[in-house]
Amino acid sequence: MLLTDKVAIVTGGGSGIGEATSLRFSQEGAAVVVADMRLRKAEAVAKQINEQGGHALAIEVDVSIAESVATLVDRTVAEYGQLDVMFNNAGTLRPGTVIELDVDDWDLVMGVNVRSVYLGGKFAIPAMLNSGGGSIINTASISGLHGDGGAVAYAASKAAVINLTRAMSTDHAADGIRVNAICPGTIETPPVMRMMEDPVALEINMRAHAIGRLGRPEEIASAALWLASDESSFVTGEAIVVDGGLRAQSPLGRLADPRPEHLR
C-alpha cells in the first residue's frame, strides 16, 4: 500500500494510461480524482474504483484552460482536504510536417500537452505546500527525445514537457515537491491501437521494441506509482524512459550477423 492516506489527481484518467494509473493508485491506498474531458469515461473509472472499495471522484476538466484546472484542484482539496500527487497525463496528437500541419492543430497539441503541465503545476503546487510536499508526474514520450517523422507538434510538445519538468523540479525541490516525467514507448492505448489497425504497421512497431511487443498501460502505471510514492524520494527532475528497449536498439541490428559465404 504505497500510497496510503495520499490524494492523487490523474488527468486523462478515463482511458488508457490514465485509467490504468487511476486503478493502480487506488489499489495502493490513494483517494483518486479521475479527471477527463469526457466525463462519462471518468465516471466509469471512478465507479469501478468505488465498487472495489476505494475512494474516487470523477471531474470533467479541460487541461488547457486555467479556470478548469484551478477548479479541478479546488474541488479535490474541498473533497479530500489535501493533494499529494498530480499526474499530468492528458495528451493528444495531430500528425503532420510543419508544411502539412494546420496552425490550429499546432495550438491544440501545445495546449493539451504543454500548457496543461504548466497549469497542473501552477495550481497543484500551492495545494501541495499545504500538505507538506508532494509528487508531480508528467507524461512525456520518447518522441520528446528524438525526431519522429510526420509528428512535429507532438515531438516538440513532449520535448517541452521534459525540460519543463526539469525546470519545475529545480524551482520546487526545496519545498518538498518532486517533479518527474515518464517517457513511454508505443503503448496499447485506444488511439494507438487505432493507428495500428494495419498489421504491417503493428509488426514494424513491435519489432522496433527490443522486447518484441508494445507496452501495456499497466506498465506505465507501475512507473507512475513508483514516482508517486516515497520509494522514489531521492528522484526529481528525471525523464524516466519506459520503452521496452526501443531507444536502446540500434536500427542496424546485429553488426556481426552471420550471412551465407557468397554474400560476405
- Domain of 231, CATH number, reads 3.40.50.720
- pLDDT bin (cut points 50, 70, 90) of residue 257 is low
- Mean pLDDT, residues 72-81 taken together: 98
- Work out how many domains the chain is built from and give that number: 1
Which pLDDT score is estimated for 259? 60
- Can 154 be counted among the known catalytic residues? yes
Q: Of 25, 80, 123, 154, which residue is the catalytic one?
A: 154
**Contacts within 8 Å (CB) and 24+ apart, 159-162:** 160/110, 160/113, 160/114, 161/113, 161/114, 161/117, 162/239
Task: Name the band, by pLDDT with cuts 50, 70 and 90, for residue 41.
Answer: very high
Asked whether residue 169 is assigned to any structural domain, the reply reads yes
Range of the domain at 13: 7-245
Segment 63-79 shows an average pLDDT of 98
- Is residue 256 included in any domain, yes or no? no
Do the domain assignments include residue 264? no
Residue 253: inside a domain? no
Which pLDDT does position 192 carry in this prediction? Answer: 78
Query: What distance in Å separates the CA atoms of residue 147 and residue 150, rounded to the nearest whole number?
Result: 9
- Average pLDDT for 165-171: 98
What are the backbone dihedrals phi and psi of residue 68, each rounded to the nearest 5 degrees, phi first? -70, -40
Round the average pLDDT of the chain to a whole number and report it: 94
Tell me the per-residue pLDDT of 88-106, one tens digit each, with 9 for 90 and over: 999 999 999 999 999 999 9
Angle between helices 152-172 and 103-110 (to 10 degrees): 30
pLDDT value for 261: 56
Window from 100-104, 183-187, 240-244, 259-263 with minimum mean pLDDT: 259-263
Whether residue 19 has pLDDT greater than 60:
yes
Q: What pLDDT is attached to residue 152?
A: 97
If phi over 0 gives left and psi between -120 and 50 gives alpha, with beta otherwise, what is residue 140?
beta
Rounded Cα distance between 223 and 231, Å, is 11
Does the structure show a pLDDT above 60 at 151?
Answer: yes
Residue corresponding to grid cell 529545480: 170
Between CA 102 and CA 94 the distance in angstroms is 9
Residue 221 lies in a domain: yes
